[in-house]
Amino acid sequence: MTYVITQSCCNDASCVEVCPVDCIHPGPDEPGFGAAEMLYVHPDECIDCGACEDACPVNAIFPDYEVPDAFAPYVDINAAFFEFTGEQEEPAPLPPPGPKITGNGPLKVAVVGAGPAGWYVAEELAATRRCDVEITVIDRLATPYGLVRYGVAPDHLDTKEIVSGFAKTARHRRVRTRYNVEIGRDVTHEELLGAHHAVVYTTGAGEGRSLGLPGEELSGSTSAAELVGWYNGHPDRAALTFPLAHERAVIIGNGNVALDLARLLLADEAALTASDLAPAALSALAASGIREVVVTARRGAEHAAFTSPELRALADAPGIDVVVDEADLAALPTEADTTERNAGTFAALQKADLLRDLAARPRTDAAKRLVLRFGLTPTEILGTESVAGVRFATGEEIEAGLVVRATGYRSAGVAGVPNEAGTGRFLHEAGRVIGAEATYTAGWAKRGPRGVIGTNRACAAETVRTLLDDYAAGSLADPAGEPLDDLLTERGVIIVDQTGWNTLDTHECESGKEIGRPRAKVTDREEQMRIAALARV
Ligand SMILES: Cc1cc2nc3c(=O)[nH]c(=O)nc-3n(C[C@H](O)[C@H](O)[C@H](O)COP(=O)(O)OP(=O)(O)OC[C@H]3O[C@@H](n4cnc5c(N)ncnc54)[C@H](O)[C@@H]3O)c2cc1C
Ligand code: SF4
Ligand code: SF4
């Protein structure tokens, strides 16, 4: 018997750390890790101990006899990875932990952004044996977990389980939390730095990007950031409305976010109800007239940005035909012409095989269709007041009532901290922000909007190593400014801490249970604050 890794794997490598026989690959210190779509268990080396299943925060691992039917292909996919890549490459040696550091009291670090990167930074710092540390995790929202709450698709409930590990870090004696505090608005960067030895910005990349197309301002033309924020109940976006009556929607861009959007726009009411979709979005999507979603990409199928696990989930969704034109697939790679055998080429072949399989499938006359189109560069969003369709450089026009740009995210930046024009991300050297003293960054604010949740773990570890080495070298001055809580009290900022969040979390789960849903999200900021404040009564 062997264990098998399946679709919701988010590459956080918790399983690699606990496997006694080192049979899960590629590990974070192996060369192929960055290019891997997911991790895989070697079926001949696994000794069936079950440690990885217990360690996986997103329930992605099963013994082979318990793999759910929907994930059955992953038994072969895990084995195929090792047949394809052969002997695993040696991991790069880990850098030594560095000597102990003595300072005047604990090293005080503010971590700004309570998304995955913020929690991985806090976890890494809290675990250090080099010095005593006091970590304050801050978020502008009254709720933690960033895009896990407000980005990850509401039907990916297993993926959202990753927060159980973050909640554990929040309970660490070295960690405290301050939500509903926006740096750059409630407190300046300089003030925050004055209260700490160092500040780490893990503020993500939460803004949509414009393509500069004529017609982008029309009603029914939107960005993935807005639509995803709306259906996930982000308080800044929960009150948006979208025209959903037309039978067709077009998505520009074909990454995993585009496939999330397509799946949600085509989901039936039962699937929507079983998700933690925001209540208003549930009513709107259940009444939607959308029957076809066309996902368009500028480049050919061989450059498709989605990963095969995401497409596989749609390929097997009941009631949806996935339409791919075989004529678009001529340039896809085949095993025969693949010279390198690594995690990246394995992922490309998985995707190619799946696309060929979809193109060969007969149509089933299902009520709903996902159409994957390639080689289409949008030139104009058509319509007068509201969207009527999209025109492409080929001259083709596709009629639609909703057009979503899923072409990437940008960072909002923070006043007083230099960032890159256009992307808003912080330019850095091994996590140290260039041009700002005692300031660091990790996650999407550092790398741009790339990588799954677990990718932020190694990224955070690099940043923490740099920060601790700088502290050891004497480059971080002792805090000489006013303490953060004093500043916030003087300004009347109402803080939500972890206890306040736990109260809101419990409220959402319990009220969800009463109506047969996993969670009934509170999406109004004032209401979130009111419920969180019950913790203080
Ligand atoms: C639509 C979508 C779906 C995704 N689905 C998956 C998936 O299924 N599986 C997967 O593994 N990965 C998924 N990802 C990727 C994953 O969400 C990211 O890798 C991860 O969230 C990045 O973490 P982060 O901490 O850098 O940023 P974020 O998660 O964005 O967290 C940043 C935090 O900073 C806070 N913040 C910003 N500015 C300030 C400020 N000035 N002051 C205080 N706080 C501030 C924000 O409120 C936010 O909470 C998805 C991403 C998107 C966009
Ligand atoms: S069951 Fe045990 S041996 Fe097998 S992959 Fe998981 S941790 Fe490794
Ligand atoms: S999510 Fe993490 S623990 Fe689970 S299978 Fe993937 S890498 Fe392993």
Closest ligand 2 atom to residue 22 Cα is 8
Residues with CB under 6 A from ligand 2: 3, 18-19, 21, 23-24, 41, 46-52
Residues 6+ apart with CB under 8 A from 333: 302, 345, 348, 349, 352
Report the pLDDT value the prediction gives residue 337, as an integer from 0 to 100. Answer: 86
- Stretches where the chain sits below pLDDT 70 are 537
What pLDDT does residue 537 have? Answer: 61
Rounded to whole angstroms, how far apart are CA atoms 270 and 256? 23
Angle between helices 256-266 and 224-231 (to 10 degrees): 50
Conformation bin of residue 237: beta by default, left when phi > 0, alpha when psi is -120 to 50: alpha
What pLDDT does 379 receive?
98
Distance separating alpha carbons of residues 135 and 119, to the nearest angstrom = 11
**Ligand 1 proximity of 138 Cβ (cutoff 6 Å):** yes
Instruction: Please tell me the predicted confidence (pLDDT) of residue 478.
Output: 96
Q: Considering every ligand atom shown, identify the ligand nearest to the alpha carbon of residue 141 and give its number.
A: 1
pTM given for the model:
0.95
Atom of ligand 2 nearest to the CA of 19: 7
- How far is ligand 3, taken at its centre, from the CA of residue 37, in Å? 11
Tell me, in angstroms, the distance from the centre of ligand 2 to residue 346's CA.
Answer: 22
Burial 304-329 (b: 16+ CB within 10 A, else e): bbbbbbbbbbbbebeebbbbbeeebb
**In the prediction, which pLDDT does 501 show?**
97
The atom number, within ligand 1, closest to the CA of 181 reads 43
- d(CA 115, ligand 1 centre) in Å: 5
Spatial distance between the Cα atoms of 84 and 399, rounded to a whole number of angstroms: 43
| CA atoms in the 13 A half-sphere facing the CB of 165 | 27
- Ligand 1: residue whose CA is nearest its atom 7: 152
Looking at residue 31, what is its pLDDT?
A: 86
* Mutation pick for ligand 3 pocket among 39, 59, 62 (CB with most ligand atoms within 8 Å): 39
Residue 5, helix vs strand vs coil: strand
Ligand 3 centroid distance, CA of 534 (Å) = 36
With a 6 Å cutoff on the Cβ, whether 128 touches ligand 1 is no
Ligand 3 atom at minimum distance from 61 CA: 5
User: Residue whose CA is closest, atom 7 of ligand 2?
Assistant: 19
Is residue 505 lining ligand 1, measured as CB closer than 6 Å? no
Q: Distance from the CA of 56 to the center of ligand 3, in angstroms? A: 5
Residues 188, 471 contacting (CB under 8 angstroms): no
Q: Which of 17, 45, 46 for a ligand 2 pocket mutation test, highest count of atoms within 8 Å of Cβ?
A: 46
pLDDT of residue 413: 94
Closest CA to 203 of 435, 419, 446: 446
Spacing, Cα 53 to ligand 2 middle (Å): 8
| CB neighbour burial string for 383-410, b if at least 16 within 10 angstroms, e if fewer | beeebbbbbbeeeeebebbbbbbbbbbb
How confident is the model at residue 512, as a pLDDT? Answer: 97
Q: Which atom of ligand 2 is nearest to the CA of 55?
A: 7
> What ligand 2 atom has the least distance to the C-alpha of 50?
1
pLDDT of 132: 96
> pLDDT digit string (tens) for 205-249?
999 999 999 999 999 999 999 999 999 999 999 999 999 999 999
Q: How far is the CA of 495 from the centre of ligand 3 (A)?
A: 34
Distance, CA of 318 to CA of 268 (rounded, Å): 10
